[in-house]
Amino acid sequence: MSQLKDAILATTANGDKAFVPYIMAGDGGLEKLQSTISKLQELGVTAIEVGIPFTDPVADGPTIERAGERALANGTTLRKVIETLAGFASEIKVPLVAMTYLNPILAYGVEQFAQDASAAGIRGVIIPDMPLEEKDIIHPALQEANIALIQLVSLTSTPERVERLTKASEGFIYAVTVNGITGARSSFANELEEHFAKIQDYTDTPVLAGFGISSPDHVKSFGAFCSGVIVGSKIVDSLANDDWATIEELVLASKVATVR
Amino acid sequence: MSQTAIKNGYYGDFGGSFVPEDLQEVLQYIGEQYEKYKNDPEFNEELEYYLREYAGRENPLYLAENLTKQLGGAKIYLKREDLNHTGSHKINNVLGQILLAKRMGVKRVIAETGAGQHGVATATACAMFGMECTIYMGAKDTKRQALNVFRMELLGAEVVAVDKGQGLLKEAVDEAFADLVANYKNTFYLIGSAVGPTPYPEMVEHFQSIISKESRAQHLAKEGKLPTAVVAAVGGGSNAAGAFYHYINDEEVRLIGVEPAGAATLSKGSPAVFHGFKSYVLQDEEGNLLDTESIAAGLDYQGVGPLHAYLHTTGRGEYVTATNEEVLEAFKTLSRVEGIIPALESSHAVAHALKLAPTLSPEDSIIVNVSGRGDKDVEQVFAMLNK
Ligand SMILES: Cc1ncc(COP(=O)(O)O)c(C=O)c1O
């Protein structure tokens, strides 16, 4: 049983689309984390992806990379993020998904990480530089702590690989919608819709689209052929500018009244 | 090397392929192509042709008589990779990989560079094979190796200064991988050292192993026995891997890698996953990378190839450090005593040989891998000495 998957299914059962904002923990200071999470919850997001800054963020686009640099500069670490979250865990109502590179987890200690993360409200993890072939490094510990290990499925994956990744993914399937790194893009390939349909054929785990979704229109057009969206760079930018109106518009676009 | 040591891209516990999903299949394809051609007679004939006719191999194993006399211990032999076309060992690997890229039908080649030597070698080969070429280089490195930037541009390459992080090799590698992800359909990433995810380390070691294939035969011909030790500078580890390769099973030959004291990955680092593979890395207790500081741009790197992590943990390799001061001294000594100006990277190996030789007997011999020539560094050293 995955709380993360359940939260997404509960959202889609209403006819809404899941909306998962990505935030960079520690951008603007870790003391902001609690208020950011609570405001996002109030807006009705489905889950929150919490980025952990890392010195070698190979899968991040420029916006998130810069946010990560700011977070590192003010001393943010995986350990401090987990401590901070644990400090207000009782107020966290939506499942959190940690996005972190593998090395900080290895340095933390895999088992300890799983236990502490779980106590801090983390219900899923995305580790972009850990291939499926290596998942045993961490999967048993995550299972023990009831944390979903989410797989990224890319457009470059062959059908066999898509099938294996999809079947292995827990919580949801993270479908990478642009070829490459995160960042706001204005146009998307047409083959996408077909790609999503293929992924969803293999599983009843919901598929969320991510990477490059930056406008309410994107939210709607992707929402039309999957279970929801993950919005990264645009949220990170808006939070850095304290622009909550933009964030609200994005979230609203995932709600049933506006999908039509 | 014993085949049990290397398996599925792993060297003991080190190596592997820790890259985002977008890259997995791209790398797998490159690996398949490499496996297909590495033992192909036609491929190897062509590679040998270019190594001989274009790069100028084989290069000498030169007995440094003056230096030997001055130090009064082991004989010092210099493996003259500095005499290769473009002035370093980098061309060995470049020719191998570019021939592979050609067979794969790719028209565009990208590479990262630290000192600029790999960038120059890549730009050179691209000019010759008529390929489009983009070189990523840290912004700080473009400044301290400005002449190499001009050289690459002269050869028709586009040089992209990466103004992120420390502006060093790490950032250049990141940009190159990002480019590969976006353009893999028509682009080959020609990596410059024995680092990165599978199949790169093994491929680079294979193409660099020509160094020890030659030196072993040359030493046997001159001395009738194997050397006591082989000494090489270690940045990512490609020249050292090439210099060690054919001696790895000769247990009596000491294999000594020399790192900068300010980027001593093996001496001061710990195991980590970084740049797509598992190896030793300079990191803090949170798993974040530490900054490095070396006067040799080509060694200013937090990581090291998995082969060296493996040789280090098994004890087969010895890894030591040299300080910037010792390196400058070695740079000057080899220039003055032998009339050979070594690259600052190679000067690390020379610096250790200066310490080691007097502790050994005249019966012993040391092969020092002079991985590159120092012309590129003369301006920088001039500035340092006249500060
Ligand atoms: C002359 C020379 N030697 C050594 C190196 C270090 O690389 P590696 O450790 O891969 O041989 C470089 C890198 O640029 C170089 O230019």
Same domain, B177 and B302: no
User: What is the number of structural domains in chain B?
Assistant: 2
Asked if residue B1 is part of any domain, the answer here is no
Residues of B in contact with A152 (CB under 8 A): 20-21
Q: In terms of Cα–Cα distance, which of B204, B317, B310 is closest to B250? A: B317
Q: What is the pLDDT of residue B166?
A: 82
CB of B94 closer than 6 angstroms to any ligand 1 atom: no
Q: What is the pLDDT of residue A182?
A: 46
Atom number, ligand 1, closest to the C-alpha of residue B299: 6
Active site residue B88: no
Atom number, ligand 1, closest to the C-alpha of residue B118: 14
Same domain, B324 and B183: no
The complex's ipTM? 0.84
Q: Does B286 touch chain A (CB under 8 A)?
A: yes
Same domain, B312 and B352: yes
CATH number at residue B305: 3.40.50.1100
Average pLDDT over residues B333-354: 98
Q: What is the mean pLDDT of chain B?
A: 94
Same domain, B154 and B256: no
Asked if residue B43 is part of any domain, the answer here is yes
Q: Return the amino acid letter for B330.
A: A
Residues of A in contact with B169 (CB under 8 A): none
Q: Strand pairing partners for B210? A: none
Q: In terms of Cα–Cα distance, which of B353, B302, B293 is closest to B67? A: B353
Same domain, B93 and B81: no
Interface contact flag, B25 A161, Cβ < 8 Å: yes
Atom number, ligand 1, closest to the C-alpha of residue B235: 9
Does B61 have pLDDT greater than 90? yes
Out of A49, A65, A116, A170, which one is annotated catalytic? A49
Give tens-digit pLDDT for B211-223.
999 999 999 999 9
Test mutation, B282, B286, B289, chain A, max A CBs within 10 A: B286
Neighbours of A76 (CB within 10 A): 24
Of B204, B223, B243, which marks where a domain is finished? Answer: B204
Average pLDDT over residues B151-158: 98
Asked if residue B118 is part of any domain, the answer here is yes
Of B177, B204, B231, which marks where a domain is finished? Answer: B204
Q: What is the pLDDT of residue A84?
A: 98
The distance of A116 to chain B (nearest Cα, Å) reads 15
Cβ(B345)–Cβ(B115) below 8 Å: yes
A120: Cα separation from own chain's centroid: 16
Same domain, B296 and B169: no
Q: In what order do the strands lie in the sheet with B14-15?
A: B6-7, B10-11, B14-15, B277-281, B270-274
- Rounded to two decimals, the pTM is 0.91
Same domain, B176 and B320: no
Same domain, B105 and B161: yes
Asked if residue B2 is part of any domain, the answer here is no
State the residue range of the domain holding B357: 58-85+209-385
Same domain, B364 and B326: yes
Of B174, B204, B234, which marks where a domain is finished? Answer: B204
Residues of A in contact with B25 (CB under 8 A): 156-158, 161
* Alpha-carbon dihedral sign for residues B110, B116, B121, B126: positive
Same domain, B177 and B147: yes
Question: Atom 13 in ligand 1: which residue has the minimum CA distance?
Answer: B298
- One pLDDT digit (tens) per residue for chain A, 260 residues: 689 999 999 999 989 999 999 999 999 999 999 999 999 999 999 999 999 999 888 888 889 999 999 999 999 999 999 999 999 999 999 999 999 999 999 999 999 999 999 999 999 999 999 999 999 999 999 999 999 999 999 877 788 889 999 999 999 999 987 654 444 444 455 667 778 888 888 999 999 999 888 999 989 988 888 999 999 999 999 999 999 999 999 999 999 765 44
Residues of A in contact with B19 (CB under 8 A): 58, 129, 131
DSSP string for residues in B78-103: EEEGGGSTTSBTHHHHHHHHHHHHHH
Q: If DSSP codes are grouped into helix, strand and coil, which group holds residue A151?
A: strand
Average pLDDT over residues B348-356: 98
Same domain, B183 and B284: no
CA distances from A89 to A37, A84, A86, A211, B26 (A): 11, 9, 5, 28, 41
In this complex, the residue of B21, B22, B286 whose CB is nearest that of residue A79 is: B286
User: What's the B336 CA to ligand 1 centre distance in angstroms?
Assistant: 22
Residue percentage of chain B with pLDDT more than 90: 83
Give tens-digit pLDDT for B34-58.
999 999 999 999 999 999 999 999 9
- List chain A domain ranges: 3-253
Interface contact flag, A55 B288, Cβ < 8 Å: yes
CA distances from B203 to B6, B31, B186 (A): 12, 8, 20
Cβ(B286)–Cβ(B248) below 8 Å: no
Interface contact flag, B274 A56, Cβ < 8 Å: yes
Test mutation, B288, B290, B292, B301, chain A, max A CBs within 10 A: B288
- Cis check for the bond before B329: say yes or no (omega within 30 of 0): no
Q: What is the pLDDT of residue B264?
A: 94
Domain A3-253 annotated CATH 3.20.20.70: yes
| Distance of alpha carbon B35 from alpha carbon B190, whole angstroms | 16
Angle in degrees, CA A216, A220, A226, rounded to 5: 135
Residues of A in contact with B276 (CB under 8 A): 58, 129
In this complex, the residue of B18, B174, B275 whose CB is nearest that of residue A134 is: B18
Q: Which residues contact B238 (CB under 8 A, 6 or more apart)?
A: B89, B90, B93, B192, B193, B194, B204, B205, B208, B305
Cβ(B16)–Cβ(B200) below 8 Å: no
Q: How many residues does chain B have?
A: 387
**Where is pLDDT greater, at B20 or B279?**
B279
Q: In this predicted structure, which of A246-260, B247-261, B369-383 has the lowest mean pLDDT?
A: A246-260
Active site residue B270: no
Same domain, B199 and B220: no
Give tens-digit pLDDT for B263-322.
999 999 999 998 899 999 999 999 988 988 889 988 988 899 999 999 999 999 999 999
Q: In terms of Cα–Cα distance, which of A120, A125, A146, A128 is closest to A37? A: A120
Residue where the block lists tokens 């599978």:
B198
Interface contact flag, B273 A106, Cβ < 8 Å: yes
A95: Cα separation from own chain's centroid: 11
Asked if residue B3 is part of any domain, the answer here is no
